[in-house]
Amino acid sequence: MYDVIIIGAGVSGCAVARELSRFNLKTMVLEKASDVCEGTSKANSGIVHAGYDAEPGSLKAKLNVLGSRKMAALSKELDFSYKQNGSIVLCFDEKDRFRLEELKARGEENGVEGLRIIERDELLAKEPHAGDEAVAALYAPTGGIVCPFGLTIALAENAFVNGVEFKFGQMVVDIQKQETGYLIKTDKETLEAKVVVNAAGVYADQIHNMVSENKMEITPRKGEYLLYDKNIGNMASHTLFQLPTALGKGILVTPTVHGNLLTGPTASDIPDKDGKETSREGLGQVTQKAALSVKGIPGRQVITSFAGLRAHITKFERGGEGAKLSDDFVIEEVKDAAGFIDVAGMESPGLSCAPATGEYVAGLIKEMLHPQEKQEFISTRKGIINMFLATEEERHAKIKENPAYGNVICRCEMVTEGEILEAIHRPLGATTTDGIKRRTRAGMGRCQSGFCNPRVVDILSRELKIDESEVKKSGEDAWYLLPLEEKEM
């Protein structure tokens, strides 16, 4: 019997796991994919929102401001990439200026610090490529950018090191209430837990509906993005949002923590919870709208495009007083299922909130289980060395320690064999090329793994002692090569 089983190894689930690992609790994270960070957490804007957007008094507002304040310290504690680059909301029409003021007032009510309206000349000083139509902007110095994989993996590794178990490749198919706790049936086994945390992203409705009569419906809201070469990563230094206009919600242009330029997302509600395909129309829309914020982004510098799904709650019959559907997160003990905690509707700003979400949920569980704090909790975690960014001395030392750090595998991002070996052999190590990519950036550069793919497949096959045909991109069916027997060569 587990004390807590967390369903879903996205950023919210991993944040909860890490906070719970401070206590003497037997905790497990169950994930249907083959790695952490395989759903919404891997395909989003990578933004740490300042917190002016959310409705005052909402959980979104509270956790966002808190999460954003915690992010810098957490990034040092757990060694992931984060940068407080400041964000800017662009206003393109004098008639809309009052909306900037509204936003500023809302932000201040939420407790966001340093908000300021800036005029076009100051905007241009901050962002020389800002669009011609931008007349004024809201400047939020506390806005930031984060590596969403880096954050999620760091949380997961730290939780794991502190005793949380992780099970991958297991999908929850049924949950039954027991006298104490719950029986969780996966496609492979049955597990028992006193407390269940539902952090299943776009599938959180299905998990919720297994235990509650108050049905929930989550409609994935798809967002398409374009990622640009590092060559033009300096075309924006802040995260540039657009004030929503009559034409709809704007899209953002932002540098990433790794120095690329990112534009997106679109927003379209789709029925398919796996519908992560990009479309010509969507990508066209992103290009067109991004040009409003930053002019002259060269189309030929696109290195990849992707789509992510935000878990947007479209129906939730809470019953009783909470019946009205709000736009807020649902983070609470389910009314008709004691000991079952939803962490649902974790759309934007879910990533920014993660550090606060973890603490908030751990707080709920503390009330239920009254656990003891661990003496031996390890609060810090050291990430994989980045040979590209390392100093000359650090590089020398690393190569001396293991010559594999001198062998460059991914030429675009300059990732060495040593880093890839680390990614495979560290706690909760990578087992797929996507896992390697998210831990080391091998394959994330401008050639998009054209050069390093055969080399990474070879290393994974060697280190995991499996045939190359068993090396996958991500899931079971994501094979690269046919078995040798099938095709006589």
Q: Does 407 sit near another protein (CB under 8 A)?
A: yes
- H/E stretch holding 116 reads strand 116-119
Q: Does 404 sit near another protein (CB under 8 A)?
A: yes
DSSP 8-state class, residue 452: T
* Helices then strands, each counted (H, E), the chain: 12, 22
Token pair belonging to 203: 């599938």
- Minimum distance from residue 150 beta carbon to another protein (Å): 20
Q: Give the position of tokens 């590209």.
A: 388
Q: Give the position of tokens 């390697």.
A: 436
- Minimum distance from residue 459 beta carbon to another protein (Å): 13
Window 437-476: residues binding another protein (CB under 8 A): 446-448, 450-451, 453-454, 458, 468-469, 472-476
Site string for another protein, 218-237 (x = CB under 8 A): --------xx----------
Q: DSSP labels for 179-239?
A: SSSEEEEESS-EEEEEEEEE--GGGHHHHHHTT-SS-EEEEEEEEEEEEE-GGGGGG-SSE
Q: Does 267 sit near another protein (CB under 8 A)?
A: no
Q: Does 274 sit near another protein (CB under 8 A)?
A: yes
Q: Distance between alpha carbon 15 and the CA centroid of its chain, in Å? A: 11
In single-letter form, the type of residue at position 395 comes to: R
Rounded to 5 degrees, what angle do the CA atoms 184, 190, 192 make? 55
Q: DSSP labels for 267-279?
A: -EE-S-TT-----
Q: Does 171 sit near another protein (CB under 8 A)?
A: no
Nearest-10 Cα torsion for 41, 44, 47, 49: -90
CB-nearer residue toward another protein: 204 or 283: 283
Considering Cα of 328, then 332, then 334, then 340, what sign does the dihedral take? Answer: positive
Q: Does 84 sit near another protein (CB under 8 A)?
A: no
- Minimum distance from residue 388 beta carbon to another protein (Å): 9
**Phi and psi at residue 207, in whole multiples of 5°?**
-65, -45
Q: Does 149 sit near another protein (CB under 8 A)?
A: no
CB-nearer residue toward another protein: 300 or 324: 300
- Minimum distance from residue 301 beta carbon to another protein (Å): 9
Q: Does 324 sit near another protein (CB under 8 A)?
A: no
Tell me, by CB under 8 A, how many residues bind another protein: 56
Member of 121, 132, 189, 280 binding another protein (CB under 8 A): 280
- Minimum distance from residue 310 beta carbon to another protein (Å): 18
- Minimum distance from residue 6 beta carbon to another protein (Å): 24
Please choose, from the candidates 174, 148, 216, the residue with its C-alpha nearest in 3D space to the C-alpha of residue 30: 174
Token pair belonging to 252: 């953002």
Member of 264, 282, 308, 371 binding another protein (CB under 8 A): 282
Member of 187, 403, 427, 462 binding another protein (CB under 8 A): 403
Is there a catalytic annotation at residue 312? no
Member of 117, 395, 464, 470 binding another protein (CB under 8 A): 395
Member of 270, 273, 411, 464 binding another protein (CB under 8 A): 411
Strands, E, within 276-335: which ranges? 302-316, 330-333
Member of 84, 214, 304, 326 binding another protein (CB under 8 A): 304
Q: Give the position of tokens 């000359």.
A: 392
Looking at 309-445, list the stretches that DSSP marks H as alpha helix, in order from N- to C-terminal side: 350-369, 392-401, 417-425, 433-440
Member of 279, 314, 326, 386 binding another protein (CB under 8 A): 279
What does the binding site for another protein look like in residue numbers (CB under 8 A)? 226-227, 274, 276-280, 282-283, 300, 302-306, 392, 395-396, 399-400, 403-404, 406-408, 411-412, 414, 416, 446-448, 450-451, 453-454, 458, 468-469, 472-482, 484, 486-489
Residues acting as catalytic residues: 49
